[in-house]
Structure 1
């Protein structure tokens, strides 16, 4: 049995993928332009989480893990006092949208899993 799982991607899944790639890319860009390796780590973790979505280890409760992680990124940027204000605003808007998408997918996919039985 392979590591990858078959995934039927709907519009909300594509939105999740786009938002995760965008915020992950922003973090990698910030790491490259500021020399702060912490942003590279944060971006890589975001992209790794997206990779897990396509594996057999994924389960809907991981949407909650993703939402909590992205919420922590919102706080981390403020604590770090990052100076790229325009980019920070875009990134935070993307992250809020990603949290909403994670919450929606969690509710929808957890509901369909419980309807189908164990």
Structure 2
């Protein structure tokens, strides 16, 4: 049932055109999910489960037709909020916090870059 009016929920046709930068952003996002899930299993602190869930939701959303360049900016704000969560509740896990920080800085850089690239392409 593929009519001209029906669009797939997932944008799998675009995946082949994604460059290394897109995949780096996804790897950083999945890394953030993993670190925060692990810290949640160690501490039981619900904020780490919420962070992991929200980043997992973002990864899933990235593969759908609902994704837009404006969501990169939301991701940047989300990464900054993640830093606050780690400063307030994750200081006891310095090594995991450093790993999470590397993933976060990578995602922040990728998200800002992709926002400007895709926003510029949308203006053409």
TM, length-normalised to structure 1: 0.92
Q: CA contact under 8 A between 2:35 and 2:100: conserved in structure 1?
A: yes
RMSD in angstroms over aligned alpha carbons?
A: 1.1
Note the residue ranges of structure 1 that are not aligned, 5 or more in a row. Answer: none
The aligned runs of 1:3-82 (5 Å cut-off) are 3-5=9-11, 6-7=13-14, 8-82=17-91
Deviations 1:14-47 (A, max 9, x none): 1001000001110011001111122111101001
* Higher CA-based Rg: 2
Q: 1:81: Cα distance to partner?
A: 4.7
Cα distance in 1 for residues equivalent to 2:92 and 2:9: 40
* Structure 1 stretches of at least 4 aligned residues deviating more than 4 Å after TM superposition: none
